[in-house]
Amino acid sequence: MDAETIPLRLGTRRSALAMAQSGMVAAEVTRRTGRPVELVEITTYGDTSREHLAQIGGTGVFVSALRDALLAGRIDFAVHSLKDLPTADPAGLCLAAVPEREDVRDALVAREGLDLEGLTEKCAGRAVRIGTGSPRRMAQLNAWAAARGVEVETVPIRGNVDTRIGFVHAGELDAVVLATAGLNRLGRSAEISEHLDPALMLPAPGQGALALECRADDTELAAALGALDHAPTRAAVVAERALLAALEAGCSAPVAALARWSGERELRLEGVVGTVDGATLLTMSTTGPLASHETVERQARALGLALAERLLAGGAATLMGERAR
């Protein structure tokens, strides 16, 4: 069989969202390279565990099985939600491409299509029950409620998109918060009651972006996948993940970060660290010009590290429940 007709094996989690994301990437890889791509479904620990992410360590639980399959040669490359990737670089693997980012915002899916303000009016006299498995979302929702003098109960939940939205349809919750990007990729954006502005709900580092990972020694495939790379997105997520790494935080910590371009050469990075109850949120930002194409990634990383240092100096470690350094 001709090498060009041998399918590339793309490793993916089994969830509907992961399959949708991987299918989109597979189609684009085939379009650009002419190579057929077959999806190889892999079950990760994060998919089978019933514990909340904060209990099972969060970062890496959706990734390690895919990486093991890559290193063992059972698949040729993998697609991850970039926010799930640990910040440490894995031995033997490379981040071949970060495609253009989807919508970074979080989304509210609520009963009767109500927004946050409408929910608080509808539920006057009792707490609005909002489901999310993310300490970051809990912290910012609780802070929003406290600032407005309304009652919100953040309820820890897990499960796929159908399961989470099902809690609302069954009347167990008034709303759930999900990533807009995931709902868009599943063709379910019509179910969104409200897009939560980053000023209210800053997203997770890397949210809305995908990561294409392959073996570092497969230079030919890495180069081919590199055609899907979107340099502005890569620089933005590098800054966000550098901040996250410097804070030594993962999915179990209430940390948010978002880098946005101002023109072609200036990147503005915002970071939030808080307590899950929302009693304290530490919010800071920084802006830096990124000079030349060759050093953009290095400068973006430096921007993230600089903001992390300021957050730590302001007490971020204590807020995250870590020993102050």
Amino acid at 102: E
Q: How far apart are CA 302 and CA 293, in angstroms?
A: 15
Of the candidates 241, 228, 234, the residue with the CA atom closest to the CA atom of residue 290: 234
The DSSP call for residue 188 is -
Catalytic residue among 76, 84, 106, 218: 84
Q: How far apart are CA 280 and CA 179, in angstroms?
A: 24
SS (H, E, C) 12-70: ECCCHHHHHHHHHHHHHHHHHHCCCEEEEECCCHHHHCCCCHHHHCCCCCCCHHHHHHH
The order of strands in the sheet holding 152-155 is: 152-155, 128-131, 175-179, 106-110, 194-196
Q: Is 89 a catalytic residue?
A: no
Residue whose tokens read 């429940």: 321
Which active-site residues does the annotation give?
A: 84
